Amino acid sequence: MKFGVVIFPGSNCEHDCYYAIESVIGQPVEFIWHQDTSLKGFDAVILPGGFAYGDYLRTGALAKFSPVMKAVADFARKGGLVFGICNGFQILTEAGLLPGALLRNVGLKYLCKFLYLRTETTDTPYTNLMSKGQLLRIPIGHGDGNFFAEAEQLKRIENNGQVVFRYATADGQIMPEANPNGSLNNIAGIVSEQRNVLDPQARAHDHGVGHLQRDVERALQLQKLARALTPVTHERSGRDPGSGRKRRNHRHR
């Protein structure tokens, strides 16, 4: 299974994603420059965390106009797997690939800490090897993580089973004190109606880097999340196994 990691001007977690895919779960991965217009040969695409275009206007508002985003939209419409993390979540909502919006955190402060996410559904390519109610201890790092949707849209998201993760207490309870940013219904991650585009606001790639690599349990959580993709991808027919361009030397911090 081949992964692509998109690099926008201002991305700062693309190498974390690259390392997590290549070294933690052992899958092929290449960088995709924001000006590229083809995703041919990729099975899954990751939009990493960071501050794309400096978060000017608002988070994700400029990144949605990057040439690569048309390719990402086409890829998603054809059933391609798209995984947005933190700033990637913000970009995908701005691009209309996921419902809702990410607002400023309640309290207007940047938050950086570990917390718990409760798995709400296993009916996605990303969580099909997990169990409903399973807790993940994952760090967050954002100033605009407050998920919002209009009442009717929120009802549709809930009724369709599109909520994949919720902020929870250490014993799995969904309570106000577990909600770090004011997100409606403690929502921490959603999936598209087609169930192939997923966005957790928490920074899953941080499980595989730096000192966190010493925590075997956390690394296995990331492995399980990513390896769940493989059976679904291999079942899809008509995918061109061609290769993209390798971009290991990009450094945009």
pLDDT reported for residue 231: 45
Residue 253 lies in a domain: no
pLDDT reported for residue 216: 36
**Average pLDDT of adjacent 10-residue blocks, the chain of 253 residues:** 95 90 90 97 94 89 96 97 92 96 93 94 92 92 93 98 97 97 96 93 50 39 54 42 39 35
Residue tagged 């190498």 (tokens): 15
pLDDT reported for residue 202: 63
Supply the Cα-derived Rg of the chain in whole angstroms: 17
Residue 13 lies in a domain: yes
- Least Cα distance to 180 among 167, 162, 170, 197 occurs for 167
Cα 203 to Cα 38: distance, rounded to the nearest angstrom: 26
CATH of the domain at 99: 3.40.50.880
Residue 100 lies in a domain: yes
The total of structural domains in the chain comes to 1
Residue 244 lies in a domain: no
Six-digit token pair at 214? 């010493």
pLDDT reported for residue 225: 58
Residue 252 lies in a domain: no
Residue 248 lies in a domain: no
Read out DSSP for 209-252? SGGGGG-HHHHHHHHHHHHTHHHHHHH--S---------TT---
Q: Which domain range does residue 63 map to? A: 3-235
Q: Would you call 130 helix, strand, or coil by DSSP?
A: coil
Read out DSSP for 86-115? THHHHHHHHTTSSSSEEEPPTTS--EEEEE
Residue 15 lies in a domain: yes
Count CB neighbours of 125 within 10 A: 22
pTM metric for this prediction: 0.80
Region of residue 87 (phi > 0: left; psi between -120 and 50: alpha; otherwise: beta) = alpha
Cα 186 to Cα 174: distance, rounded to the nearest angstrom: 7
Residue 250 lies in a domain: no
Cα 248 to Cα 90: distance, rounded to the nearest angstrom: 25
Q: What is residue 21's DSSP assignment?
A: I
